[in-house]
């Protein structure tokens, strides 16, 4: 930056004309790209001494612009000293508030003040800043007011404003309104498409996000922001082929060395890990020129998700010893998850204490949840309950459900299970389907079928519905979705014939269904053994057996945890059909090969 030299405010009055002062200060405020606050204060003093209002209005606008990028307090003082601020000045301060860390709510307050001015009106620069602040604050009511005002001011067709509206509504969870704004736009840009694709992906509608991306390619060439959203969607959906395409697109089209883009590579590591290709995740990670803590966290979480516990500890040591990086809260989520997936109670306790005592990281619910689940599943229910009772934060329903599930698996008794169910209902309300399902399985494990029937009736009476099992599989770049008992797929006839073949061959090797998993399956009034064969992952596996090329693993992604019977069936299928099957459930990955699973039957 070129130094800006001005006369001292204590210097004797100049004999030059005000017009000369104006042009000199005008040049200083328009020819520089940045000016430090001390220099701005010197210029401010010169304006006060030499340029009377209203001639100083433009100069004040430039002062506000530079100061707003550095010092919000000083900017506000400048604004308050301006006799008649114009719309540009309001926009400058609104933008500064919208970008501030702690004062975003003031952006809307100032916007309301602008609306009250007689001869001033918000313009196409005002609303994106206001909507940005409302999006961050989840201020849906205020954002809708801004939406009404921009329509009133005839700005409803502005592309940039509409992009901001899409982002605002999506941030507030109103995906329907985001889509409505997009659909009604008279003109769209690459940012418009990026905004709606990102909105869909952030809201978890990965299918529609990828569909919109395919549609976008008919009109525009995707840019880096588009590809970033596509990578995130592929990670959520498990769409490995599309993710690999996005990776190749970046390498082919970008004008920079992708190995230097830390943010992009972090996303790729996460995508490959979540799509079941840990080998590719490691390849991307090891090829990175530079890494930050998030890079290591992505790799550690990836290993933990796949049950590669030894590599979790190896990379954690490398992060600390080789890179000299300080682990953070997310790092220990990965470490504790790995301990939980392998049942390493002593290591779990050790790393939890290290996190608190050595790195002074305050545990959050995820940390407590990992430790409590680890202890409970190992049969140490009392210790798990002690931690719950001494936690400085209120346990959520997930923690109570993990203890309830552990009680079922460890046969800890019906009375304790019913008490835990009551705790869950207090935490989450009695509309939570998960607690009913778990409690029904507690009764089923004890062969208390009358009580199982009572739980189902109770759910019906209260209008509680179980979240349907859903599994996806990607074949030749197309993602196919199956629900439990699904008959909507074009290949339904062949899929069910394949299921019959699977069942016959598994009977031959001695498989016996675990009926304790069947009672709550999507209200199917069929015999228990038959309902199990209609679980969504079995339909997806049957489809994969029909359509996958020999030697290519079948990759299944399920929204719920895999049940015991499906886990055993998938192990048998991997051996009988000589196929590798990779299943990602709600908690982790299972790699089935030759009749065994990477989780070693502990999940």
Question: Strand, helix or coil at 412?
Answer: coil
Cis amide bond preceding 54, omega within 30 = yes
Which is nearest to 293 in space by CA: 260, 336, 257, 332? 332
In the predicted model, what is the mean pLDDT of the chain?
84
Percent of the chain with pLDDT over 90: 45
Does residue 16 surpass a pLDDT of 50?
no
Percent of the chain with pLDDT over 70: 86
- Give tens-digit pLDDT for 464-503: 777 788 999 998 888 899 998 889 999 999 999 999 999 9
Does residue 410 surpass a pLDDT of 90?
no
Of 1-15, 96-110, 233-247, 433-447, minimum mean pLDDT range: 1-15
The residue ranking higher by pLDDT, 456 or 342, is 342
CB burial of residue 96 (10 Å; 0-12, 13-18, 19+): buried
**Alpha-carbon torsion angle 458, 462, 463, 466, nearest 10:** -50
Q: Where are the domains of the chain?
A: 1-83, 470-597
Highest mean pLDDT out of 12-16, 99-103, 130-134, 348-352:
348-352
The answer to whether 325 and 293 are in contact (CB under 8 A) is yes
Question: Strand, helix or coil at 481?
Answer: strand
Neighbours of 85 (CB within 10 A): 22
- Give tens-digit pLDDT for 92-136: 889 888 888 778 888 898 899 899 888 889 999 999 999 999 998
The residue ranking higher by pLDDT, 420 or 89, is 89
Does residue 12 surpass a pLDDT of 70?
no
DSSP per-residue letters across 291-355: --HHHHHHHHHHHHHTT-HHHHHHHHHHHHHTS-PPP-HHHHHHHHHHHHHHT-HHHHHHHHHHH
**How is residue 54 written in tokens?**
């209203």
- pTM assigned to the model: 0.79
Of 90-94, 155-159, 515-519, 545-549, minimum mean pLDDT range: 515-519
Question: Strand, helix or coil at 269?
Answer: helix
Cα–Cα separations (whole angstroms), residue 270 to 234, 236, 265, 588: 10, 10, 9, 14
- Give tens-digit pLDDT for 20-78: 666 666 766 666 667 777 777 777 777 766 766 666 677 777 777 776 777 778 788 87
The pLDDT score that the predictor gives to residue 431 is: 57
- Give tens-digit pLDDT for 570-580: 999 999 999 99
Whole-angstrom distance, CA of residue 193 vs CA of residue 211 = 12
CB burial of residue 234 (10 Å; 0-12, 13-18, 19+): buried
**How is residue 166 written in tokens?**
């899409």
Residue in the block written with tokens 């602008």: 114
> Would you place residue 525 in the very low, low, confident or very high pLDDT band (cuts 50, 70, 90)?
very low
Does residue 515 surpass a pLDDT of 70?
no
């Amino acid at each position: 930056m070129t130094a800006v030299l001005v006369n001292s405010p204590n210097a004797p009055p100049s004999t030059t004309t005000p017009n000369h002062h104006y042009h000199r200060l005008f040049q200083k405020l328009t020819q520089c790209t940045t000016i430090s606050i001390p220099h701005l204060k010197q210029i401010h003093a010169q304006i006060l001494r030499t340029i009377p209002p209203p001639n100083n209005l433009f100069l004040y606008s430039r002062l506000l612009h530079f100061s707003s990028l550095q010092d919000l307090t000083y900017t506000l003082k400048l604004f308050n000293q301006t006799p008649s601020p114009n719309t540009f000045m309001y926009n400058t301060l609104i933008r500064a508030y919208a970008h501030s860390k702690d004062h975003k709510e003031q952006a809307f307050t100032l916007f309301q003040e602008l609306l009250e001015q007689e001869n001033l009106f918000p313009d196409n620069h005002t609303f994106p800043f206001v909507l940005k602040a409302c999006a961050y604050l989840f201020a849906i009511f205020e954002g809708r007011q801004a939406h009404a005002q921009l329509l009133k001011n005839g700005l409803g067709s502005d592309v940039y404003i509409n992009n901001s509206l899409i982002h605002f509504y999506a941030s507030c969870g109103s995906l329907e309104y985001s889509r409505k704004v997009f659909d009604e736009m008279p003109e769209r840009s690459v940012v418009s498409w990026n905004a709606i694709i990102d909105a869909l992906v952030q809201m978890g509608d990965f299918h529609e996000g990828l569909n919109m991306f395919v549609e976008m390619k008919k009109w525009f060439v995707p840019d880096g922001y588009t590809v970033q959203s596509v990578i995130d969607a592929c990670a959520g959906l498990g769409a490995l082929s599309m993710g690999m395409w996005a990776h190749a697109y970046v390498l082919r089209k970008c004008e920079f060395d992708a190995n230097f883009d830390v943010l992009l590579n972090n996303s790729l590591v996460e995508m490959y890990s979540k799509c079941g290709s840990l080998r590719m995740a490691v390849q991307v990670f090891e090829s990175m020129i530079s890494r930050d803590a998030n890079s290591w966290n992505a790799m550690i979480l990836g290993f933990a998700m796949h049950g590669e516990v030894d590599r979790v500890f190896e990379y954690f040591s490398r992060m600390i010893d080789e890179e000299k990086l300080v682990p953070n809260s997310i790092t220990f989520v990965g470490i504790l998850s790995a301990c939980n997936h392998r049942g390493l109670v002593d290591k779990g306790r050790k790393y939890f204490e290290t996190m608190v005592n050595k790195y002074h990281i305050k545990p959050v619910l995820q940390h407590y949840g990992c430790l409590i689940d680890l202890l409970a599943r190992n049969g140490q229910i009392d210790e798990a309950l002690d931690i719950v009772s001494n936690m400085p934060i209120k346990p959520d329903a997930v923690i109570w459900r993990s203890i309830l599930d552990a009680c079922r698996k460890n046969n800890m008794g019906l009375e304790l299970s019913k008490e835990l169910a009551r705790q869950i209902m207090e935490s989450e309300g009695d509309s939570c389907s998960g607690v009913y399902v778990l409690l029904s399985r507690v009764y089923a494990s004890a062969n208390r079928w009358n009580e199982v029937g009572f739980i189902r009736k109770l759910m019906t009476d209260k209008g509680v519905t179980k979240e349907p099992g859903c599994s996806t599989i990607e074949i030749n770049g197309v993602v196919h979705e199956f629900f439990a008992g699904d008959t909507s797929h074009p290949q339904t006839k062949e899929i069910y014939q394949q299921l019959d073949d699977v069942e016959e061959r598994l009977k031959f090797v001695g498989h016996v269904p675990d009926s304790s998993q069947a009672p709550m399956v999507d209200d199917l009034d069929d015999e228990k053994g038959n309902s199990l064969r209609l679980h969504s992952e079995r339909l997806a596996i049957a489809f994969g057996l029909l359509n996958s090329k020999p030697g290519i693993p079948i990759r299944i992604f399920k929204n719920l945890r895999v049940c015991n019977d499906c886990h055993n069936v998938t192990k048998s299928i991997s051996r009988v059909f000589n196929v590798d099957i990779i299943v990602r459930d709600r908690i982790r990955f299972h790699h089935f090969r030759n009749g065994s699973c990477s989780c070693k039957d502990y999940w």
